[in-house]
């Protein structure tokens, strides 16, 4: 059973429907026992980093997430769910550095708009990935495959070895990561049609 963590931030139902489409049992939950008993755990997320961390604290979900990532079970972060795994985030307009979960070393930085070059913020739409290492998560997914992105911030891992794919948007940024049982993608597999469903199936099939 796949537990999709519910903290009132993100398109939870669309993630659940995508897993159900590939034949997986998936439940949306904020119950620590359900998360602990799940075979796979998913942390989705859409919105502001600060509000997401506040909600995770309010619903007492930080400890279940830390236990889940330490358990060895397959764990997948999606979009903001990737960013929350890092130590800190720069949130423009607030003049502060925000503390993340600290599971992956590194920080989250905002894109800089480039007038005249057509690079707008947020980065929104289809873009391709470049594989940096082999992974069961990307089994039978070709290099340069296109996924759907919607984000204004990107992750800067301290250890480049955790970077699974990069994507070009004015800079080559880390678009997915993998460290042992912990995987996360900046793009939305649930919105990425067949290739996204393939990635979710690969995740479901992990032991």
Q: Which residues are known to be catalytic?
A: 79, 188, 190
CA 47 from centre of chain: 13
Helix (H, G, I), strand (E, B) or coil at 107: strand
Contacts of residue 203, Cβ cutoff 8 Å, sequence gap at least 6: 40, 74, 76, 137, 183
**CA distance readout (Å), 119 to 53, 79, 113, 155, 200:** 28, 19, 6, 18, 29
**What are the structure tokens assigned to 71, written together?**
């358990």
**How many residues are there in the chain?**
207
Q: Residue 65 in contact with residue 102, Cβ under 8 Å?
A: no
List residues bridging with 106 in a β-sheet: 157
CA pseudo-torsion sign 47, 49, 51, 57 = positive
What 3 state SS string does 41-90 have?
A: EEECCCCCHHHHHHHHHHCCCHHHHHHHHHCCCCEEEECHHHHCCEEEEE
């Amino acid at each position: 059973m796949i537990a999709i963590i519910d903290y009132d931030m993100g398109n939870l139902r669309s993630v659940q429907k995508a897993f159900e489409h590939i034949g997986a049992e998936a439940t949306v939950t904020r119950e620590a026992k359900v998360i602990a008993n799940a075979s796979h755990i998913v942390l989705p997320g859409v919105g502001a980093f600060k509000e997401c961390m506040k909600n995770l604290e309010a619903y007492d979900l930080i400890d279940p997430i830390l236990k889940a990532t330490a358990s060895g079970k397959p764990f997948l972060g999606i979009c903001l769910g990737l960013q929350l795994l890092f130590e800190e985030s720069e949130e423009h307009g607030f003049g502060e550095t925000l503390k993340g979960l600290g599971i992956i070393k590194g920080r989250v930085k905002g894109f800089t708009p480039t007038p005249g070059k057509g690079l707008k913020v947020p980065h929104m739409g289809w873009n391709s990935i470049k594989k940096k290492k082999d992974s069961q998560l990307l089994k039978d997914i070709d290099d340069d495959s296109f996924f759907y992105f919607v984000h204004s911030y990107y992750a800067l891992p301290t250890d480049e070895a955790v970077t699974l794919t990069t994507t070009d948007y004015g800079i080559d940024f880390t678009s997915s990561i993998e460290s042992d049982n912990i995987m996360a993608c900046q793009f939305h597999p649930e919105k990425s049609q067949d290739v996204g469903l393939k990635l979710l199936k690969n995740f479901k099939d992990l032991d």
